[in-house]
Structure 1
Amino acid sequence: MSDRSNTAMLSFDPAFPSLRDGLSVALQIGDTLWVANDETTNLERLKIQDAAPGDVVRCNEHQSFQLLEYLDLPIPKQDAEIDIEGLAYAQDSGYLWVVGSHSLKRKKAEADKPAQKNIKRLSTVEADGNRFLLARIPVVQHNDGYALARKVDADGRTAAQLHGNEVGNGLTAAIAEDDQLRDFLRIPGKDNGFDIEGLVVIGSRLLLGLRGPVLRGWAVLLEIEPELSDDSTDTLVLKKIGPGGRRYRKHFFALNGLGVRDLCSSGDDLLILAGPTMDQDGPVTVLRWRGGFASDEESVVFTEQLETVLEVPFGQGDDHAEGMCLFESGAQLGEVLLILYDAAAQRRKHGDTEVEGDLFILK
């Protein structure tokens, strides 16, 4: 098991005080930490400051990147959330990959409303078009650090996204033909419906972790390989990489009934942040699959093939672990994992704009 070794203090611009209350992803690129609030259409970049071992690591100099400037979202409005649930950086190609949840949502019951109105709310299921986003954006280096670009003339890199609209995209269209998964597309994410949370780059392919569905205790990961359409410089399509010409491969993991809440890679290993698929507080566990995805076959991974490396703390109604990435800052011992929390507990909040994440040394 691993022990909490330190704290990362994230400081946001006072103009965006609510960002800290819904952090859903974490990714380090060089000396920058990239995060997102799942109720926005932005990515947030923080500068990681060097810290001595044992000192709080400060992440500040906040800059916000509005994704509407780089992508053509189905609903081009700043208040039309993407529900960003996965970030990954392909260093060899210089692309940042971003994925929305692809999930439907059910309205919440509210304590100040009468029973019949709440029953109606609980029967209302909606699709937010921007959630059906899977895209890549070029990362460039400026004097002030890493930034995003829609197009890079020097090397021809361009932002591009999977073909889609307000009700789906190329991935959901492919899943709609799958006898095992298609019915879950019509079920809201928090009801064990189709819900992406987690993204890893594996060469030219992407691995998508699903919070749901969990099938008889088995979590699902999807492997895809996006490529540019033959007749477009900004539209992606999915290659046929699966059995029978499917545009994805399926991988099943025995996570003790939990779903995937985030993913990251550690060399040839895959780290899985596993947590409840339903609207519950815990348990939350990080598991390691050593040498994962060495083959080009679909897989079924049993519990004994996974190593539990961390039991993540969780609160009662707060501190829901959502974002995870490997983390480096100054002098440190061993491999360090950063965990960020949605609905952060009040004790994690400092002033009007700061929030703590946890750093763990992986053993």
Structure 2
Amino acid sequence: MKLEFPQDDADLAQSLSAVIRIGDDLWVGSDEGTKAMCLRRDKRDRSKPPFRRVDEIDLVQELDLPGKTVDERGGLPEVDLEGMDWDAQGGYLWMIGSHSLKRTAAKFATKKGKPIDDAENLARLSVISTDGNRFLLGRLPLKVDAKERSSVVQRGAYAPDHFGARLAGTERTSELLDALHDDPILKQFLIAGHELPGKDNGVDIEGLAWDAKEKRLIVGLRGPVLSGMAMLLELKVTEEFAGAGGVGRLRLQRIGAHGEPFRRHFLDLDGLSVRDLCFRGNDLLVLAGPTMPIDWPVTIYRWKKGRSRMDGRQRFVWQESGELGLWVQAELKDAERKHDRPEALTLWKKNQALVVCDAPSGKRFDKPATVEVDKVVLPKAT
């Protein structure tokens, strides 16, 4: 299935990292830029891609993000959206940024084909940086009409029971990341001056699932993977209204056994990390992949009754227990080396998930900005 974007969003179309289906729309995010984008199904014209972008939201403006200084590329610091989910009861699109650092990658050549020598590559690998809007955990209020078309409630029209909000954060941290600094395990990856970049097994958020029953968020970590165990964070938040035109404040509740503002859960994913999450009934589906940027097929684990088994305790979830297991592994059609890496998933139909990939290959990307995404069949749950 194909998604069509305007030509100006070609870079975003090639770096999709978050997706959620809301009615007849798909909302997507990218690990570049500062936008959340809505694509709508067009059932009338079958000669065109079934989903085309109809709206985009500037998250810096709409959620008053801290990074407002134009960078050397001429844009605002990227949000690096890595998870989205839909709270249908509350009418909120939840989203989260990576909260990670990044190391400048070594490369064989520039985009124009000029070789990069060893000295320059060594210098590149020495640079660790971040982007000032990556430290986002927030929500946008949406309204959905009778035809299942969704749109954002703009600032100025917020109401006390329906408003945009986010955790407190700066260009270097957030309330969530500050809390992780106090965790006896995760703080080892966050020592000031020695923090690890996300793709070096440092702290790197990927995946977000909203539990409507318990009013909580489940956050996935791409890193760190600890002795082969992947990690989830369970969060609950309170909210404060800031007026019709203000951005509300979310605050973490202290739900841990010793007053921590999170609970940890450890999953045996065969040494893989979390790339995205979604609930399917009472089960939690985990899109898994390596911590490093290497090729990998679509790999989905199923935590049976994961929603109800997160019952106020920290959990270690083992495959030997029968609770957790590999559920889907599928090679993508026309996938190429160093391209087409599964990044995000959302339920499509009862027995299908939609998987979105980063860095689409030429066979899966039509210029100026149309990208192929994949429907994956889900086995019958037993």
TM-score by structure 2 length? 0.85
- The answer for the alignment partner of 2:151 in structure 1 is 147
Secondary structure in 2 aligned to 1:131? Answer: coil
**332, 338, 342: which one aligns with 2:354:** 338
| C-alpha displacement of 1:282 | 1.9
SS in 2 for 1:227: strand
Q: Structure 2: how far apart are the matches of 1:236 and 1:184? A: 25
Q: Report the counterpart of residue 80 of structure 1 in structure 2.
A: 77
- Structure-1 residue corresponding to 2:61: 69
Post-superposition shift, 1:11? 0.9
**Is 1:240 aligned to residue 254 of structure 2?**
yes
Counterpart CA distance in 1 for 2:53 and 2:137 is 27
Q: Which residue of 2 aligns with 1:256?
A: 270
The SS at the match of 1:279 is coil
Q: Is the 8 A contact 2:37 2:53 kept in 1?
A: no
CA-CA distance at 1:10 after TM superposition? 0.5
What 5-or-longer segments of structure 2 have no aligned partner?
109-114
- Deviation (angstroms), 1:119: 1.4
Equivalent residues of 1:104, 1:188 under 8 A apart = yes
For residues 41-65 of structure 1, the C-alpha deviation after alignment (integer angstroms, 9 at most, x for no partner) is 00111112459xxx99711253222
- Comparing 154-163 with 296-305, which one deviates more in the overlay? 154-163
Is the CA contact (8 Å cut-off) linking 2:60 and 2:66 kept in structure 1? no
Instruction: Give the partner amino acid of 2:274.
Output: V
CA distance in 2, matches of 1:350, 1:315: 15
- Give runs of aligned pairs for residues 136-175 of structure 1, distance below 5 A: 136-141=139-144, 145-151=149-155, 152-153=157-158, 156-175=161-180
For the pair 1:267 / 2:281, whether they are aligned, the reply is: yes
Give the match for residue 114 of structure 1.
117
Q: Identify the residue that residue 101 of structure 1 maps to in structure 2.
A: 98
Rate the CA distance shift 1:95–1:118 in 2: closer, same or farther, 3 A. same
Residue 130 (1) aligns with residue 133 (2): yes
Whole-angstrom distance in 2 between the partners of 1:195 and 1:221: 11
**Candidates 310, 334, 340, aligned match of 1:319:** 340
Q: Is it true that 1:298 corresponds to 2:314 in the alignment? A: yes
Distance (whole Å) between structure 1 residues aligned to residue 153 and residue 281 of structure 2:
28
Quick one: higher RCO (CA 8 Å, sep 6+), 1 or 2? 1
CA contact 1:318–1:343 (8 Å) conserved in 2: yes
1:235/1:154 CA distance change after superposition, 3 Å: closer
What SS does the corresponding residue of 1:108 show, helix, strand or coil?
Answer: coil
TM-score when scaled to structure 1? 0.90
Q: SS where residue 158 of structure 1 aligns?
A: coil
Say whether 1:221 aligns with 2:232. yes
Aligned to 2:366: 350
Query: 258-267 vs 229-238, which deviates more?
Result: 229-238
Preserved CA contact (<8 Å) 1:312 1:321:
no
Say whether the 8 Å CA contact 1:106–1:125 is kept in structure 2: yes
| Corresponding residue SS for 1:190 | helix
Greater strand proportion: 1
Tell me the alpha carbon deviations over residues 13-32 of structure 1, each in whole angstroms, 9 at most, x when there is no partner.
23322222101111000100
